[in-house]
Amino acid sequence: MLNNAVEIRKRVVQALERQEMKHRFSDDMERIRITYGAEGKLKSVMISIIFADFGFSIRAYIDIDADEDSRIRVAEYVNRINYRIRRGNFQMDFNDGEICFRDFIDCRERDDISDELIRYYIEYPVNVFEEYGDGFLAVMYGIKSPEDALKDMDKDDSAPQINKCSNCDSEVPAGGKFCASCGNKLS
């Protein structure tokens, strides 16, 4: 069983190294940091992995903060997105406008976790930022209302396709190898 932070961190680091994913540790060695290039108008998404005794959390953030004048609109957009997604959630700090996506992966019921599944958990927030990022910018800069930003995204034929997991009925991106909710291998 993966049931302590040291074991979980070791397993995640092994997966990152085997997959040649560039990463670095924080000064206190408690976090792993990864920066991804992003599709769309967002240029990059920063990932921070924090370890706990029974899992790990992932915090993804962008380097653009909502200014004071747009925070109410962005908060509405965040709320509308969170209502749609089934895994993780967006948050905005009202003090400085920082926008992040958070998720937690519980490892208590797992004997091991595959390299592919670890990669999926790490890349999932990047994919979610790519999906909703252009809308964030449109709402921040007053180009669109939160509702219109989501409506326009729904009209976009290039939006990712979503399938259902045969084990737990959670939504999973088309082409995904594993369910992020239950870890079921997808066919």
Task: Please give the CATH architecture assigned to the domain spanning 5-159.
Answer: 2-Layer Sandwich (3.30)
Distance (Å, rounded) from C-alpha 79 to C-alpha 13?
33
Distance (Å, rounded) from C-alpha 12 to C-alpha 55?
11
Nearest Cα residue to 60 out of 100, 92, 23? 100
User: Under DSSP, is residue 181 helix (H, G, I), strand (E, B) or coil?
Assistant: coil
Q: How far is CA 132 from the centre of its chain?
A: 11
DSSP string, 57-121: EEEEE-S-PPPGGGHHHHHHHHHHHHHH-SSSEEEE-TTT--EEEEEEEE-TT-S---HHHHHHH
155 CB-near residues (< 8 Å, 6+ apart): none
Using a pLDDT cut of 70, give the percent of the chain over it: 91
Residue with tokens 């920063």: 46
Judge contact between 157 and 141, C-beta under 8 A. no
The model's pLDDT over 132-187, given as tens digits with 9 standing for 90+, comes to 999 999 999 999 999 999 998 877 655 456 678 888 887 776 666 677 777 777 76
Judge contact between 87 and 181, C-beta under 8 A. yes
46: pLDDT confidence band, cut at 50, 70 and 90? Answer: very high
Whole-prediction pTM value?
0.79
